[in-house]
C-alpha cells in the first residue's frame, strides 16, 4: 500500500496534524518529540481524532480499493491521503468495525451497488446529562467582575464557601488567577482585607529574602551538603521544566533562574522536605501566574502544606491515597476494581496512577486543562480528595479497554501512559464532579472512606444527612471499628488495642 499526502486548506494544516514533521501547540513538545521520534522509526503518523470531525473515503476504482481518504477537522481543514495501489478497502473495513467511528450516510448517496464514497463521523466520549452533577453549568468561569462581587468594601471574601463552590464548578479566568490563587493556596486568608494583604506581602517579602540570605551564607561544609542534596538536582531540573511554556521559553530566560531560586530557598526553608523531583513541575505554573518571586514562594509553601497529595510523597502517604482510591473504585466502578483484584497485589498497586497523584495530572493533560483540575482540587469543595475522584473519572471514561481486554499490570500502565495528553480534561472534570455528587448520595459508606472529607470543615455531608458507616473490616490495630462502623461480614482481625481503638461514634460529632 502506497500512500502520499497532500494538504488542501486555506490554513497551514501541519499545525493541526501530528505527522512526522508536524507540530501541535497543545502537546508539550518534549512528549511530542518522543512521539515523533518513535513515529519516524516505525514509519507511522498519527492524527488526533478527538480534534477531527469526519473521515471520508472516496473510491476511484470499481473494486473500491484505490482512492482518497479525507480527514476533516472541525475547523474544516482537510488532510488527504492518496491510495494509488489499493488498501483503501481494508481501511474502510477497519473504520466500519471501529467503535470510535460511526458510518453516516450522505445525502443523495447513490443507491446503486457502486460505491463511490463513504463517510464516518467521529464519536466522542460524552456524558449523558443523567451522569452530570445537577449544578453543572450553573457557574460561569470566575472573571474579574464575578470576583469583585465576592469581595466586600475592605476587600474581604464575603462567603468563602460560595467562592470555593464557584471555582469548583467554573474555574478561574486566566486574567485573575494570579490574584485568586494565593487565597486558594492559603497565602492570603479569606478574612484578610486588601490593606492587610499588602502589609502581609511586604512582611513576607522581607522574610523571603532573609531565607535566601541565610541560604547564601552557609558554611562551606553546609554548602557542599546542600549542593549535593538539593542544588545539583534543582539545577538540572529547572532547565527541563515547562520550557515550551512562553513564560520559560528561550535560552537564558530569567524566569528559569527565578524558579531555581524559589526551589532552592524552599529547600533551605524546609530542609525535611528539601527538594524532590516533580516540585519544579508544580512551582512553574504558579510562577507563571503569580509572577512575583516572593509571592510565588509563599503560595508554593501553602501548596506543599495544604495539598496532601503532593506535600510528602512518603510511602505511607502514597499508601493512604491508593487505599482511598481503591475503595472509591470498589464503590463506584466495581468492574474495574474486580479487574484489579484479579491481578492480585500488583494490580491493586495501581502503578498507572502514581504520577497522576504525585503531579496532580500535570503530565496527563495539556496545561490549560491540568490547571483547571488544580483549581477544582484547591477549592476543597466538599472534599480534600477531589483529585481521587478525578482519577476515578479517568478510569471510568478511558478504562473500558482495560477491562475488556483484561490487560495485565504492565499493559495497563502502557495503556494509560499512551493516553497522556490525549484525554479530554473538561469531560474528565465533569465526570469527577458527578462522581463526587454520587458519592454524596450514598446511603452508606465503608469505614475505610470515613476520613475522605475530614479536613475540610463540615465536609460533604453538610446538608445534615449523614450516611451510615459500614465496617469493611481491616483494623489490625484495634478490635472494633474505630469509626463505629457496623460489621456486615466477618468481624475484624483480633489484635492489640491500638491508639485509635478507643474512638467510637463520637468521631462523627463534628458533622452534627
Between 278 and 446, name the residue whose CB sits nearer to other proteins: 278
Q: How far is the CB of 305 from other proteins (least distance, A)?
A: 18
| Residues belonging to the chain | 512
Between 414 and 455, name the residue whose CB sits nearer to other proteins: 414
Distance CA 174, CA 178 (A): 8
Name the helix (H) or strand (E) containing 79: strand 78-83
Between 172 and 350, name the residue whose CB sits nearer to other proteins: 350
Chain contacts with other proteins (rule: CB under 8 A): 29-30, 33-35, 37-38, 40-42, 46-51, 98, 100, 122-125, 228, 232-233, 236-237, 240-241, 243, 276-278, 280-281, 313, 315, 318-319, 346, 349, 351, 354-355, 358-359, 363, 398, 401-402, 405, 407, 410-411, 413-415, 417-419, 422-424
Q: Answer whether 5's CB lies under 8 Å from 81's CB.
A: yes
Q: How far is the CB of 46 from other proteins (least distance, A)?
A: 5
Between 218 and 351, name the residue whose CB sits nearer to other proteins: 351
Which of helix, strand or coil describes residue 471?
strand
Q: How far is the CB of 145 from other proteins (least distance, A)?
A: 32
446 strand-pairing partners: 470
Between 122 and 176, name the residue whose CB sits nearer to other proteins: 122
Q: Answer whether 383's CB lies under 8 Å from 325's CB.
A: no
Between 158 and 222, name the residue whose CB sits nearer to other proteins: 222
Distance CA 308, CA 358 (A): 10
Q: How far is the CB of 56 from other proteins (least distance, A)?
A: 17
Structure letter (DSSP) for residue 130: G
Name the helix (H) or strand (E) containing 441: helix 425-441
Q: How far is the CB of 149 from other proteins (least distance, A)?
A: 34
Q: How far is the CB of 263 from other proteins (least distance, A)?
A: 12
Between 42 and 111, name the residue whose CB sits nearer to other proteins: 42
3-state secondary structure string across 3-17: EEEEEECCCCHHHCC
Supply 285's cell numbers. Answer: 505554573
Between 73 and 212, name the residue whose CB sits nearer to other proteins: 73
Between 182 and 425, name the residue whose CB sits nearer to other proteins: 425
Between 233 and 307, name the residue whose CB sits nearer to other proteins: 233
Which residues are within 8 A (CB) of 3 and not within 5 positions of it... i.e. 6 or more apart? Answer: 81, 82, 83, 84, 87
3-state secondary structure string across 306-334: HCHHHHCCCHHHHHHHHHHHHHHHHHHCH
Q: How far is the CB of 487 from other proteins (least distance, A)?
A: 29
**Cα 371–Cα 363–Cα 55 angle in degrees, nearest 5:** 95
Q: How far is the CB of 267 from other proteins (least distance, A)?
A: 13
Q: How far is the CB of 51 from other proteins (least distance, A)?
A: 7
Which residues are within 8 A (CB) of 237 and not within 5 positions of it... i.e. 6 or more apart? Answer: 263, 277, 280
Q: How far is the CB of 357 from other proteins (least distance, A)?
A: 9
Q: What is each CA distance from 5 to 8, 47, 91, 327, 419, in whole angstroms?
A: 10, 13, 16, 49, 26
3 strand-pairing partners: 83
Amino acid at each position: 500500500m502506497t500512500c502520499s499526502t497532500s494538504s488542501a486548506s486555506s490554513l497551514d494544516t501541519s499545525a493541526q496534524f501530528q505527522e512526522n514533521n508536524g507540530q501541535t501547540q497543545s502537546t508539550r513538545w518534549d512528549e511530542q518529540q518522543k512521539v515523533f521520534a518513535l513515529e519516524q522509526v516505525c514509519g507511522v503518523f498519527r492524527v488526533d481524532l478527538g480534534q477531527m470531525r469526519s473521515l471520508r473515503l472516496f473510491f476511484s476504482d470499481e473494486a473500491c480499493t484505490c482512492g482518497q481518504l479525507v480527514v476533516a477537522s472541525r475547523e474544516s481543514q482537510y488532510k488527504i491521503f492518496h491510495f494509488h495501489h489499493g488498501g483503501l478497502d481494508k481501511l474502510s473495513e477497519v473504520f466500519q468495525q471501529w467503535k470510535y467511528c460511526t458510518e453516516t450516510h450522505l445525502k443523495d448517496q447513490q443507491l446503486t451497488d457502486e460505491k463511490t464514497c463513504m463517510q464516518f463521523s467521529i464519536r466522542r466520549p460524552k456524558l449523558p446529562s443523567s451522569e452530570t452533577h445537577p449544578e453543572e453549568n450553573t457557574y460561569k468561569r470566575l472573571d474579574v467582575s464575578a470576583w469583585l462581587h465576592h469581595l466586600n468594601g475592605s476587600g474581604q471574601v464575603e462567603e468563602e464557601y460560595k467562592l470555593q463552590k464557584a471555582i469548583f464548578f467554573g474555574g478561574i479566568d486566566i486574567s485573575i488567577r494570579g490574584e485568586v490563587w494565593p487565597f486558594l493556596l492559603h497565602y492570603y486568608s479569606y478574612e484578610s482585607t486588601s490593606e492587610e494583604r499588602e502589609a502581609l506581602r511586604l512582611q513576607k517579602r522581607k522574610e523571603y529574602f532573609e531565607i535566601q540570605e541565610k541560604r547564601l551564607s552557609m558554611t562551606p561544609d553546609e554548602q557542599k551538603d546542600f549542593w549535593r542534596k538539593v542544588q545539583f538536582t534543582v539545577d538540572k531540573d529547572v532547565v527541563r521544566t515547562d520550557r515550551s511554556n512562553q513564560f520559560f521559553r528561550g535560552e537564558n530566560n530569567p524566569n528559569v533562574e527565578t524558579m531555581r531560586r524559589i526551589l532552592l530557598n524552599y529547600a533551605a526553608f524546609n530542609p525535611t522536605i528539601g527538594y524532590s523531583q516533580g516540585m519544579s513541575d508544580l512551582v512553574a505554573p504558579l510562577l507563571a501566574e503569580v509572577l512575583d518571586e516572593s509571592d510565588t514562594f509563599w503560595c508554593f509553601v501553602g501548596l506543599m502544606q495544604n495539598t496532601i497529595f503532593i506535600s510528602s510523597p512518603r510511602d505511607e502517604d502514597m499508601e493512604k491515597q491508593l487505599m482511598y482510591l481503591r475503595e472509591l473504585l470498589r464503590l463506584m466502578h466495581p468492574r474495574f476494581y474486580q479487574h484489579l483484584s484479579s491481578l492480585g497485589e500488583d494490580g491493586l498497586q495501581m502503578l498507572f496512577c502514581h504520577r497522576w497523584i504525585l503531579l496532580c495530572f500535570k503530565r496527563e493533560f495539556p496545561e490549560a486543562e491540568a490547571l483547571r483540575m488544580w483549581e477544582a482540587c484547591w477549592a476543597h469543595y466538599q472534599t480534600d480528595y477531589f483529585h481521587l475522584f478525578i482519577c476515578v473519572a479517568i478510569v471510568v471514561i478511558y478504562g473500558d479497554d482495560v477491562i475488556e481486554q483484561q490487560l495485565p499490570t504492565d499493559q495497563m500502565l502502557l495503556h494509560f501512559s499512551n493516553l497522556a495528553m490525549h484525554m479530554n480534561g473538561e469531560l474528565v472534570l465533569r465526570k469527577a464532579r458527578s462522581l463526587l455528587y454520587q458519592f454524596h448520595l450514598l446511603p452508606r459508606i465503608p469505614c475505610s472512606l470515613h476520613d475522605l472529607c475530614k479536613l475540610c470543615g463540615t465536609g460533604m455531608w453538610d446538608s445534615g444527612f449523614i450516611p451510615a458507616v459500614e465496617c469493611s473490616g481491616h483494623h489490625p490495630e484495634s478490635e472494633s471499628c474505630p469509626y463505629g462502623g457496623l460489621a456486615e461480614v466477618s468481624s475484624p482481625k483480633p489484635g492489640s488495642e491500638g491508639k485509635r481503638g478507643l474512638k467510637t461514634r463520637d468521631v462523627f460529632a463534628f458533622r452534627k
